[in-house]
Every structure is written in structure tokens, then in C-alpha cells.
């Protein structure tokens, strides 16, 4: 586990650290809610104290704007901690099963939420604060212990700072173990036995995670990104709004813009206008996120070199700083080089279409496009919205982009090739707990349910079938049944005396 003196512990220590984490969990498998709230409060205080340091570290790593870190990451995490702290009692409360079939009318049944155990969370570099801390606080609030793998190989300054922040919470190593490093550390962690794995990253690596998890039959939550489309139709009354989130290197950023040909020229004018407003000065020194590493820089510039479209805005790239201007590419079709995989960079291809139903059907049937992590619609026509909504996506925003990913009150996750499972707020509690049914049968009911025991007879079968057809009823107690037992007993006695 990471310490203040050793941010990257030796690989050989990883198995023993996970064993210690599990031993600690097994000693106290069900924790008091007051203790869970204390853990959340400790994390909140540490994050508040180190807010500026965390934002500064991200700026130093890849020029991430401090404002972007505060608004899109920090405030969302603090809001989710406060939400879970306020509602933890109701979120963890047992669900009562009030309505059951007649065969189960004497049974008391509840569904309790039990922690899974040890959760591995593997975090990407693009939004490393919210994509690490949101699942961490959800897993801890549900009563689990957590092994957190940070992307030290991509953003080392931030990972060092977040590690120091978390080490001061007092949760390490009892409930939280923090790991840094790169692929070797991730691989070593994947070889261990966990009770759930949360991975955010590429589909290629996601397949490796699934293979590793299968060894121990470990369930997974995968957030794998994908090419998230934005639709702009002629029925949109605010054309400029549709272009404001298209230059982010995030898993839910608009990956390409589809514009109806009726408003294509008008849309290009609006894009150029909003571009100048958003980026009055564009240079490596401005507050604009740089590409994370040389490999990603070469990948993005390679796409620009091989696209059949034309660059109408931006396009300049500086390899010494890995800075690429926010770039808009016109005249792109769905088979272009820019459409081969998720861009994950400041490039926005524009695809022109004339038939909405046809282009939607093409996306729905094209591998790599058919199940995006996010889907964005800019149209004021309900009919058009319904057509576009037939695309299966992890999330959907209408007249908005990006914001759903940071809302702690709604689930965040993918579907199909963009991932599986979700988390945030109450959905994290569902993801990180096991819903276990607890049934209790009173002894007095034994005489009423003997028909299920041998010797079997058609009379018992017929009675069971009749009971099964009785509409669901509330739970019956002894005192509910007692008057009928008395009446039945008296009736039998009278019958025998005649």
C-alpha cells in the first residue's frame, strides 16, 4: 500500500496488502452507520483541505484548467459525499416485502443490503478525481473495503497528492488501500481475488479486465467510453448550445456532431461564432487541457492527417507541449478515419445527414457506434427525439452535454460496448451491496403448511394450486389466523357431536 514515504510499493507486497484488507473486513463485516458516516466525513474534510493542491497538481500534469477541476470534479464529489451522508439510513434500510402469495402469507420477508467485501477500483487519467472518489465513497458508504489503483503513469503529480490526501483520512490501511504505478501494478492487482471490480478505461483493456475477473467469477462494473454522437436537427431553437461541449478529452464528450443538411450552413456559422467566444486566445499557455502523452498526441494528429474532411477551425499542434488546438473538421462521413474509434481529444468531426431515420439506423447497426456511453439530442421536436432515442446508450441528454456524468442523483454507466453496470448516489449502494432475502417462518404456521410434505397426494396438490391462485395478501400473524382456527375447531367439534 502507498505510504507518504513510498508512493509506489513493490509489486511483491500487493498480495499481502490485499490479504490484510480482507482480514480487516472479515473482522467487522457489518459496520455501524455512524462509523460509515465518520469515514465519509474524514474523506470530505481531507478533500476540502487539499482542494487547491489537487487542482494545481492536475494543471501541472496536463494543463487542466483549475475551474474545470473545481466545477466538473471537486464539487460533484463533495455533493455526492453530502448526499450519501444525509440519506445513508434510508439507503441501507431493509426493504419490507408486504405483499406475497397465499402460500407465503405466514412468512415474514425482508430484503437486506449487505456489503460485498473488497472492491477494486481502477481509475483513468482524464477525470481522476471524480472517477476515483465517486465509486470509492459509494463502496465505503455501502460498508465495503476498497483497493484504489490511481493512474500514476499518466498524471503522477495528482496521484501523489491524492494519495497523501487519502492517507490523512485514517482509513488506510484498515478500509482503504491506495496503489499507484502503471500497467505492472494494475496487472498484479487484477491477479488478486476481489468481490467486485470497477474499471474505467478503453474497451481493449476492459476485455483484459473481464478475462482476469472470470478467474475468480468476480462481477465487474465497466465504463469503457465510445463514440458519443450529438444530433443537431432543423427543429432546434438554440443552435449554439449544441457546440459548447465538443472539445473535451472525456469519455462522455460529444465525439462527433450530426447536422441536418437543412441547417448545415447555419450550423457552421454558429460553430465559428461560439468557437471565438469560448477560445478568444488559443495557445499552449492558455487554460486548455493538453494531450496526456506522446502516444495519444501521435494518434490524434494521425487522424487529422488521414481524414477526408477539411479542417475549418483550429488544427495546429505542438509536439513539444502536446497541445492540439480545439479543432473542427467539416465534410466527414461515418466511414472516415476520425470515426474509427473514440477520439478522446479536442477534435469535433461534423457529419452531414438528410434522412434522420436512415442515419439513426446506420448508427444502431454499426459496430463501434451502436451503443455509445452518451447520446446528445438538440431538437425541440418530440417526434425527432423519439427516433433518436432508439439508439441504445449509457446516458441521454436533451439540449445539454456532459452534465449527466457528474450528477450524483442519477446513475452513470455504459451499455453494450460502452460498458456495464453503474454507480453514483443511491445507485452506488445498489451496485456495492448484495440484496439478500431474509425469510422467517413462525413455528405456529407449521400446521398450516404441512401439505408441502410427503406423503404426497392429489388432494394436497389441488389445495396448493387453489392457494396459489389466491390474490397476494399482506403478511399474516398468529393473531390474524387465531380467530379462524377457533371457528374451524368449534365447527369440527360440533360436526363430530351430531
Catalytic residue, chosen from 251, 384, 397, 420, is 251
Has 248 been annotated as catalytic?
no
Q: Give the burial string for 396-408 (b: 16+ CB within 10 Å, else e).
A: bbeeebbebbbeb
Of 346, 347, 393, which is closest to residue 374 (Cα–Cα)? 393
What length does the chain have? 498
Q: Are 432 and 144 in contact (CB under 8 A)?
A: yes
Cis ω before 438 (30° cut-off from 0)? no
* H or E element, residue 436: strand 433-440
Q: H helices of 168-202, where? A: 183-190
Instruction: Give the C-alpha separation, 372 to 247, whole Å.
Output: 17
Instruction: Give the C-alpha separation, 298 to 184, whole Å.
Output: 24
**What is the Rg, in whole angstroms, of the alpha carbon atoms belonging to the chain?**
28
Has 251 been annotated as catalytic?
yes
Of 241, 228, 229, 304, which is closest to residue 267 (Cα–Cα)? 241
Q: Are 417 and 438 in contact (CB under 8 A)?
A: no
Q: How many Cα atoms sit within 13 Å of 410 on the Cβ side?
A: 13
SS3 140: helix
Residue 128 has phi, psi (to 5 degrees) of: -70, -20
Instruction: Give the C-alpha separation, 324 to 317, whole Å.
Output: 4
Catalytic residue, chosen from 185, 223, 325, 342, is 223
Instruction: Give the C-alpha separation, 41 to 51, whole Å.
Output: 15
Cell numbers given for 73 = 470534479
Work out the burial of residue 473: count CB atoms within 10 Å of its CB; fewer than 13 is exposed, 13-18 middle, 19 or more buried. middle
Contacts of 165 (CB under 8 A, 6+ apart): 46, 47, 49, 50, 53, 54
Task: Catalogue the active-site residues.
Answer: 223, 251
Amino acid at each position: 500500500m502507498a505510504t507518504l514515504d513510498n508512493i509506489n510499493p513493490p509489486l511483491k507486497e500487493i498480495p499481502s496488502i490485499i490479504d490484510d484488507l480482507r482480514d480487516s473486513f472479515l473482522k467487522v463485516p457489518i459496520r455501524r452507520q455512524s462509523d460509515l458516516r465518520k469515514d465519509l466525513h474524514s474523506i470530505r474534510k481531507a478533500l476540502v483541505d487539499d482542494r487547491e493542491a489537487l487542482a494545481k497538481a492536475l494543471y501541472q500534469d496536463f494543463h487542466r484548467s483549475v475551474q474545470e477541476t473545481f466545477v466538473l470534479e471537486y464539487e460533484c464529489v463533495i455533493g455526492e459525499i453530502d448526499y450519501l451522508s444525509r440519506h445513508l439510513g434510508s439507503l441501507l434500510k431493509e426493504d419490507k416485502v408486504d405483499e406475497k402469495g397465499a402460500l407465503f402469507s405466514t412468512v415474514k420477508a425482508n430484503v437486506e443490503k449487505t456489503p460485498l467485501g473488497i472492491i477494486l477500483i481502477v481509475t483513468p487519467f482524464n477525470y481522476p478525481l471524480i472517477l476515483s472518489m465517486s465509486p470509492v465513497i459509494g463502496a465505503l458508504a455501502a460498508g465495503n473495503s476498497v483497493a484504489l489503483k490511481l493512474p500514476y503513469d499518466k498524471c503522477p503529480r495528482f496521484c501523489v497528492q491524492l494519495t497523501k490526501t487519502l492517507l490523512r483520512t485514517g482509513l488506510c490501511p484498515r478500509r482503504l488501500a491506495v496503489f499507484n504505478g502503471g500497467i505492472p501494478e494494475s496487472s498484479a492487482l487484477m491477479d488478486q481475488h476481489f468481490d467486485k471490480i470497477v474499471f474505467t478505461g478503453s474497451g481493449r483493456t476492459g476485455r483484459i479486465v473481464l478475462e482476469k475477473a472470470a478467474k475468480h467469477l468476480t462481477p465487474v462494473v465497466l465504463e469503457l467510453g465510445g463514440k458519443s454522437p450529438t444530433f443537431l436537427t432543423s427543429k432546434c431553437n438554440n443552435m449554439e448550445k449544441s457546440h459548447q461541449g465538443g472539445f473535451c478529452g472525456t469519455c462522455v464528450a460529444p465525439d462527433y456532431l450530426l447536422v441536418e443538411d437543412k441547417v448545415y450552413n447555419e450550423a457552421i456559422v454558429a460553430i465559428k461564432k461560439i468557437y471565438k467566444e469560448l477560445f478568444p486566445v488559443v495557445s499552449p499557455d492558455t487554460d486548455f487541457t493538453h494531450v496526456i502523452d506522446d502516444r495519444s498526441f501521435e494518434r490524434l494528429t494521425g487522424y487529422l492527417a488521414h481524414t477526408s474532411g477539411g479542417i475549418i477551425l483550429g488544427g495546429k499542434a505542438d509536439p513539444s507541449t502536446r497541445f492540439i488546438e480545439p479543432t473542427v473538421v467539416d465534410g466527414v462521413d461515418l466511414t472516415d478515419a476520425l470515426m474509427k474509434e473514440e477520439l478522446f481529444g479536442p477534435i469535433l468531426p461534423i457529419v452531414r445527414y438528410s434522412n434522420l431515420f436512415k442515419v439513426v439506423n446506420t448508427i444502431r447497426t454499426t459496430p463501434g457506434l451502436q451503443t455509445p456511453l452518451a447520446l446528445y439530442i438538440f431538437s425541440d421536436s418530440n417526434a425527432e427525439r423519439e427516433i433518436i432515442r432508439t439508439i441504445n446508450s449509457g446516458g441521454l441528454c436533451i439540449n445539454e452535454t456532459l452534465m449527466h456524468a457528474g450528477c450524483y442523483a442519477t446513475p452513470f454507466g455504459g451499455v453494450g460496448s460502452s460498458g456495464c453496470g453503474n454507480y453514483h448516489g443511491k445507485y452506488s449502494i445498489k451496485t456495492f451491496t448484495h440484496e439478500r432475502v431474509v425469510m422467517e417462518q413462525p413455528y405456529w404456521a407449521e400446521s398450516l403448511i404441512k401439505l408441502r410434505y410427503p406423503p404426497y397426494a392429489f388432494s394436497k396438490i389441488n389445495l396448493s394450486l387453489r392457494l396459489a391462485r389466491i390474490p397476494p395478501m399482506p403478511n399474516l400473524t398468529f393473531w390474524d389466523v387465531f380467530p379462524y382456527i377457533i371457528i374451524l375447531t368449534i365447527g369440527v367439534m360440533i360436526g363430530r357431536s351430531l
